[in-house]
Chain A
Amino acid sequence: MKLLTYTKQDTFVHHLSGVTKLFFFLLWCVVSGLTYDTRVLAVMIAVSMWVIWDSRAKWEQFAGIAKLMAFFMIINVVCIFFFSPYIGCEIYNSRTDLLHLFGNYTITAEQLFYSLNVMMKYFTIVPSAFAFMVSTDPSEFAASMNGVGIKYTAAYSVSIALRYIPNVQSDYRRIKNAQEARGIEMSGKAKPIERLKRTSSIIFPMLFSSMDRIDVVSNAMQLRGFGKKKKRTWYAGVPLSRADKTVIVLCIAFSAAALWLTFYDGNRFYNPFQ
């Protein structure tokens, strides 16, 4: 199972340069972080959803992380409610009681609407992050990072990490199996403290075999001249296409418009209660 790793596909999103996608993603984060304008968030969600649909990411590829995110999102919303149950009312300057729970806790329409906005923020960013990961060729990405001025040694470290992830995963599986056969149980049967102690029987062998590998890889890289020159060219590098430039321009235009719409009345919140 390829979890959140690049899979080669023939889609619009895949053909975009890594830099374009990174640019899009960063702008999305900034705008989504600043705005509470429900209309802007709705548009951003629509775009994000289209992106993940187009990238053909499979649900199984990111189901685990998506569930984890959903869990945090719910905790976030619940915490907001318990710590400041009327923040929605303060923000929107109105109060519409829906259901009294207990003590000082009453569910209000304003609080629900505010929570909806908080949740929408997750939905603007998370799908596009997944789409970015499954649709970006790490080498091409390293090349384009270098292209926009990031040092190539730093840019390359991303790609080399991705190169060896499968090796580390298979090492882990094999070491875990062999240690389990020796009786070091890692499954739920053992007590949590025991399990923690026993992870050392996997961590140390992992560490030692990884260190052996790092030694080999760094020698191999140097022997073939990595780090020799200040500049480097890229086999997988692709120049920005017209589609890339169009997307970048559209992103900037959208972000500018979104921020204007958010702030023109001096308030980050879209208020349907007035």
Chain B
Amino acid sequence: MRKSDEPIIEFKNFTFQYKSQSEPSLFDINLRIYPGEKILIAGPSGSGKSTLSNCINALIPQAYEGTITGTLTVDGKNPAKEGIFGMSKSVGTVLQDTDGQFIGLTVGEDLAFALENDAVEQDEMKRRVAEVADVVDVQKLLDHAPNELSGGQKQRVSLGGVLVDNVRILLFDEPLANLDPATGKKTIALIDDIMKVKDVTVVIIEHRVEDVLYRDVDRIIVVNEGRIAADMKPDDLLAGNILNEQGIREPLYVTAVKYAGCTIDPKDKPQHIETMNIAPYREKLRAWFEKAPAPDRTNNNPPVLEIKDLKFSYTPDEPTLRGISLTLRKGEMVSLVGRNGAGKSTLAALICGFLKPDSGTILLDGEDISPLSIKERGEKIGFVMQSPNQMISKPMIIDEVGLGLSVRGFPAEEVRKRSEDVLRICGLYPMRNWPVSALSFGQKKRVTIASILVMNPELIILDEPTAGQDFRHYREIMEFLRDINRKTGVTILMITHDMHLMLEYTDRAIVITNGQLICDDTPARVLTNDAIVDEADLKRTSLHDLAVKCGIEEPSEFVDRFIEYERSKFAKEGRSSE
């Protein structure tokens, strides 16, 4: 809540241009943030929202050089003049990569890091660490090393590490990017709780608007192409169409109400589904539901991969997988979900042969693949890592794509032909002779997928294919995968934390908790089942709540029809834009 008329952060006619770029990344920004406010800055990748936050903590212009015109005042200071150290007393930044931000060897040391650098005496330091550990609830973990912590715990430590300095502004750079949905929810709640006990102003940079709105925010600033596209209260913003126009995902329930042909009135408080007044929209929504076509998600193709009672443990007596059985059918797109450490990556590693199971069998096309080496399996089962930087090793695109074939000794002519075919499918053909370094993140991702596809695998496993991507790139990558899935019939299994991905792009979700498969059903049914959602740290979709509020008896059916409607809409848009 706003507590003063004097802004704590003020941009006045502020323009910034990176040294290496020909155009400014921020144009003529005018923005005021007042003490005690909680602000969400949303915008697609490359919109300038991270640039904005880096100006506040002085990473710009100290770590990333460039020219500034206009003025910026943060807590009475000019960041460009004070530098990073000068601003560190006022602004605490929590970075997206909580593992990278964790610098100490133990939780206690990491919390103390800022105090150590300030040469605070040890007794005083220990007292303040204990105090802040209490605020972020990590008192019992002070001796733990980072690899003994969960993602959520690391996030708490990151937050504690900046709170210990008694900063006045907390800056969160995509705090939800690396967290499972339930942990993300807890983080948003924690930020709210901290605002109650500490006198801080909070700025959250995030494009997952619905997840941040789990708790109230005062204003949402939408940034696009270096300019402020909107600066509004959440209710007003959601009632309009700005988010959609700027390529940011609206909360799903808001989209559903709009699909039903309604215009939202800000007075009905659309900020949270729980408190939104749904009465004016109920009839139209029900009518839309009755009319919308019901999808058929059954797949009767022959099985590609059959897993039977698979068991594995890293250390004896601590099983990581306790007997997993599942079947993937040809041409399916399936999501593998569950909290961090549930065993998803272990299962993928066992399928690819990176690990050997303790017991159980894996059949591919009915044949046991246990005698096959990693390389031999790689010809049938492709694995795409999360970050393309972890896979790309050749400077030229066409060489990178053909690598898997050339090391297998295929003749150069065939390698070239097959690589070109795959590049065409992947929409990369015009760029085939470009250096990889000229590509965007999304294009690099395509290159890694192409370099797997070239081997004609029957199954592709992708680890977090859209992690860290904004809505536009997310859609680009996922539409691409669906397109490939249709054109080649390859089966696709995706490990993901993204509930939208699971709903929109997969026909089936496999839920793993504590090394056990607890559910294998359509995503709509998984995400409307409270027991499963709680057990696996997922997040119930707001479409479920909307359906319940409208008195629709089958909320999962509502979710399914919404997704079907959206899919055909996207498909049409995709076709008309081609």
Contact = CB atoms under 8 A, between A and B. Distances in A.
A139 B84 contact: no
Contacts of B165: 224-225
B100 A220 contact: yes
B117 interface: yes
Contacts of B103: 160, 163, 217, 220-221, 224
Interface string A157-180: 001101100110001001101111
Contact of B104 (A139, A203, A204): A139
Interface string A256-272: 00000000000000000
A104 interface: no
A138 interface: yes
A138 to B, nearest CB: 6
Contacts of B377: 181
Contact of B374 (A177, A217, A228): A177
Interface of A is mostly: helix
A184 B403 contact: yes
Interface residues of B, number: 65
Contacts of B352: 177, 181
A180 B161 contact: no
Contacts of B122: 233-235, 237
Contact of B88 (A160, A162, A200, A223): A223
A167 to B, nearest CB: 7
Contact of B125 (A204, A222, A233): A233
B387 A167 contact: no
A233 B121 contact: yes
B462 to A, nearest CB: 12
Contacts of A139: 104-106, 109
Contact of A233 (B120, B129, B385): B120
Given A159-B105, A219-B59, A235-B129, A178 B84 contact: no
A230 to B, nearest CB: 9
A213 B100 contact: yes
A232 B119 contact: yes
Nearest to A223: B93
Nearest to B451: A182
A216 B162 CA distance: 16
Contacts of A181: 352-354, 374-375, 377-378, 381-383
A76 interface: no
Interface in B1-16: none
Given A225-B114, A228-B85, A183 B408 contact: yes
A224 B391 contact: no
Nearest to A162: B105
B421 to A, nearest CB: 18
Given A139-B106, A177-B349, A216-B101, A225 B118 contact: yes
Interface string A206-243: 00110011001101111111111101111111000000
A56 interface: no
Given A181-B383, A235-B108, A209 B118 contact: no
A225 B117 contact: yes
A7 to B, nearest CB: 11
A139 B104 CA distance: 8
Interface string B379-400: 1011101010111110000000
A185 interface: yes
A60 B17 CA distance: 55
Contacts of A138: 105
Contact of A182 (B93, B115, B143, B403): B403
A160 B110 CA distance: 12
B126 interface: yes
B362 to A, nearest CB: 15
Interface string B396-410: 000000011001100
Chain A interface residue bracket vs B: 35 or more
Interface in B224-264: none
A229 B113 CA distance: 13
Nearest to B161: A224
Contact of A209 (B112, B120, B389): B389
A216 B404 contact: no
A222 B404 CA distance: 41
Contacts of A185: 375, 407
A177 B100 contact: no
A222 B117 CA distance: 10
A4 B205 CA distance: 41
A205 B116 CA distance: 34
B572 to A, nearest CB: 36
Nearest to B461: A181
B95 interface: yes
B99 interface: yes
Contacts of A205: 389-393
Contacts of B407: 182-185, 198
Nearest to B352: A181
A58 B59 CA distance: 45
Contacts of B57: 223
B63 interface: yes
A201 interface: yes
B452 interface: yes
Contacts of A231: 119
B100 A180 contact: no
A219 B63 contact: yes
A178 B374 CA distance: 9
B479 interface: no
Nearest to B452: A182
Contacts of B568: none
A232 B117 contact: yes
A203 B84 CA distance: 33
B108 A174 contact: no
A208 B444 CA distance: 13
Contact of A174 (B59, B390, B392, B455): B390
Given A175-B391, A181-B377, A229-B118, 18 more contacts: A139-B106, A160-B103, A174-B390, A178-B385, A178-B390, A184-B407, A185-B407, A201-B403, A205-B391, A205-B392, A222-B62, A223-B59, A223-B93, A225-B114, A226-B117, A233-B119, A233-B125, A236-B105
**In the A-B complex, the 10 residue pairs with the closest CB atoms:** A181-B378, A216-B100, A235-B112, A225-B117, A201-B393, A177-B354, A228-B85, A224-B114, A208-B389, A204-B393
8 contacts: A167-B99, A174-B390, A175-B391, A183-B403, A184-B407, A208-B390, A224-B114, A224-B162
Interface of B: 57, 59, 62-63, 84-85, 88, 93, 95, 97, 99-101, 103-106, 108-109, 112-122, 125-126, 129, 143, 146-147, 161-162, 165, 349, 352-354, 374-375, 377-379, 381-383, 385, 387, 389-393, 403-404, 407-408, 451-452, 455
Interface of A: 8, 137-139, 159-160, 162-163, 166-167, 171, 174-175, 177-185, 198, 200-205, 208-209, 212-213, 216-217, 219-229, 231-237
